[in-house]
Structure 1
Amino acid sequence: MSRRPKGPQAALKTGGYHLVAGGISVLWLLPILLVVVTSLRTFDDVAANGVGSLPHSFTLGNFAQAWIDGGEFQAMVNSLVVTIPAVIITLALGAISAFALSRYDLPFRRTVLLVMLAGNLLPPQILLVPVSKMAEMLGIYDTLGALIGVQIGFGLGFYTFVLYGFMRAIPSEIQQAAVIDGATPLQIFWRIILPLTRPALASLSALAFTWVFNDLLWSITVIRTDTKMPITSALLGLQGQYVSQWNVIAAGSVIAAIPTVAVFLRFQRHFVAGLALGAVK
């Protein structure tokens, strides 16, 4: 059966859609492009012509200055030391919790889920002082371990809630067949449920890495020493150190964005699949 040729009205709608979407994309990309171009200009060029002018110079020295003199190397190491364990531990605990709550008839499981969800609805600002005082009482204040613990504590409820929805949608017949074959709960979780939840885990991994890596609020709450600050706090210090050198600040921003962009590109296929699967459910 041949398709009918598109009329002028359909072509007009398609062209209007692409025009609007293209305009929004350009507006979204302009600030990013401005930061990248500024990071490649010299200070004399920016000072003489302004930040928004066309570039009249090209240099990579701004990245070296931000990386070494601005302390971003140590800050990047600190961020990765915090982010990688926090994401792995939180997702592991969230997957275990979601498996127990979704696949077994536990008492008060709905109450547990509601408590976890309610904890994520609390504004983090009202918890800054209690969390800071608790870290001091435990003797872990001003350590990266305290920041890892905070990220795990505040992310566990949300990740459990999301994974609960995915695991609950898995047909119970699969688990029953595994039980008949003699599989233990650990084997069911590791060999059956986790592989089926891979799109959701990949999506949450990308989101969790971005959230934890880009966090500023909790880092300045439980960390005090400059050499222990993560990359976002280092960027804040970079603005104070290089007040008018926008080229160095822009270079530091580009450096800070590289890990999150790389993680998103790596998990992009799984991320889109996870969103589509969640929409269907």
Structure 2
Amino acid sequence: MFPAPIETAPRGQQIAYKTLLPVALIFWLLPLIAVAVFSIKPAGDFATGNYWTWPSSISFVENYSRVFLESDMPRYLINSVLITVPTVIGAVALSCMTGFALGIYKFKANLWIFFMFVAGNFVPFQILMVPVRDLTLDLGLYNTKTGLVLFHIAFQTGFCTLFMRNFIRALPFELIEAARVEGIAEWRIFWFVVLPLMKPAIAALSVLIFTFIWNDYFWAVVLTQGVDAQPVTAGITSFNGQYTAAYHMMSAGSIIAALPPVAMFFLMQKHFIAGLTLGAVK
């Protein structure tokens, strides 16, 4: 029923596993390695067709300095921060409250309301492209960071509520009953009793949502255009010209754009793993 540890497998299987695992890992990392190598190549290598061999010269400082000093990459990075951080705060805050209401209180429409939150996660987001774009145009939110933030909060709250509601239902209900016996108001129970216990889940959810929103490309292209509102994922395409593409600049920009979510994960790694595994082992 459960996979057996590799240490208990026959000797031949252990050797094959230890041999094939590094090979599979290298193949999995090849696209990332290619982007990293592209980012330090000079522009002349792409003109001569030198794509997959070692760079003729190392242009690390030149490429990365041009990304920061001769392009709008800093502005795109700021846009991404101004879009991602409010989205994470808004989605996590709303999901904490809705998760508390759906996980603690019992009323007739509880399951149906929860189903509505969950059902939104099963709708293919591509079919929402036209109505969401038209809605942002009607509300005057097209090509604004505010419109993108509001849409992301609305779209992510369903998944966040599913995550938080299930986490809260796993908490000991005796804590809530004891607080009610003491005459504590419901909002104080949420703020002082439940919310401190939700810190691991909040940390794990924040990392997930931060990564989702920061790496979003589809809605960044659909709902924004230009340097005023576009995040970094869409802004990287500005290195494409009418007839040529600056692959070395795009690769350097991609490496820079990938650093914040990676740093976020490693900074929150302890809380992230604790939030995902809490309750897995009794």
Fold agreement, TM-score > 0.5: yes
Maintained 8 Å contact 1:202/1:274: yes
Which residue of 2 is the match for residue 135 of structure 1? 136
Which residue of 2 is the match for residue 3 of structure 1? none
Which residue of 1 is the match for residue 81 of structure 2? 80
Alignment of 1:6-25 (within 5 A): 10-25=10-25
Matched position secondary structure for 1:226:
coil
Query: After alignment, is 233-242 or 88-97 more displaced?
Result: 233-242
Instruction: For residues 138-173 of structure 1, give each alpha carbon's deviation from its aligned partner in whole angstroms, at most 9, with x where no partner exists.
Output: 122221100001000100111001111110011111
In 2, Cα distance between equivalents of 1:124 and 1:89? 20
Maintained 8 Å contact 1:166/1:278: no
Pair 12,203 (structure 1): closer, same or farther in 2 beyond 3 Å: farther
Alignment of 1:80-159 (within 5 A): 80-159=81-160
Maintained 8 Å contact 1:75/1:234: yes
Query: After alignment, is 103-112 or 185-194 more displaced?
Result: 185-194
What is the identity, as a one-letter code, of the residue corresponding to 1:233?
A
Maintained 8 Å contact 2:203/2:271: yes
What is the identity, as a one-letter code, of the residue corresponding to 1:181?
E
Instruction: For residues 56-97 of structure 1, give each alpha carbon's deviation from its aligned partner in whole angstroms, at most 9, with x where no partner exists.
Output: 322211112222333111111111101000110110000100
In 1, Cα distance between equivalents of 2:246 and 2:7? 55
1:47 deviates by 3.8
Number of residue equivalences: 276
Does 2:269 match 1:268? Answer: yes
Which residue of 2 is the match for residue 164 of structure 1? 165
1:49 deviates by 6.2
Does 2:215 match 1:210? Answer: no
Instruction: For residues 93-127 of structure 1, give each alpha carbon's deviation from its aligned partner in whole angstroms, at most 9, with x where no partner exists.
Output: 00100001101113311101111111111111111
Pair 278,153 (structure 1): closer, same or farther in 2 beyond 3 Å: farther
Does 2:232 match 1:231? Answer: yes
What is the identity, as a one-letter code, of the residue corresponding to 1:37?
V
In 1, Cα distance between equivalents of 2:124 and 2:8? 51
Which residue of 2 is the match for residue 53 of structure 1? 53
Matched position secondary structure for 2:184:
coil
In 2, Cα distance between equivalents of 1:49 and 1:182? 75
What TM-score do you get using the length of structure 1 for normalisation? 0.89
1:46 deviates by 4.5
1:13 deviates by 4.0
Maintained 8 Å contact 1:86/1:151: yes
Pair 273,68 (structure 1): closer, same or farther in 2 beyond 3 Å: same
What is the identity, as a one-letter code, of the residue corresponding to 2:72?
G
Does 2:28 match 1:28? Answer: yes
Pair 148,9 (structure 1): closer, same or farther in 2 beyond 3 Å: closer
In 2, Cα distance between equivalents of 1:242 and 1:11? 56
Query: After alignment, is 267-276 or 92-101 more displaced?
Result: 267-276
Maintained 8 Å contact 1:150/1:218: no
- Seq. identity, %: 35
What TM-score do you get using the length of structure 2 for normalisation? 0.89
In 2, Cα distance between equivalents of 1:156 and 1:66? 34
Matched position secondary structure for 1:92:
helix
Maintained 8 Å contact 1:242/1:248: no
In 2, Cα distance between equivalents of 1:158 and 1:9? 39
Maintained 8 Å contact 1:220/1:233: yes
Instruction: For residues 17-64 of structure 1, give each alpha carbon's deviation from its aligned partner in whole angstroms, at most 9, with x where no partner exists.
Output: 333332222222222122112212222244446121023322211112
Does 2:201 match 1:179? Answer: no
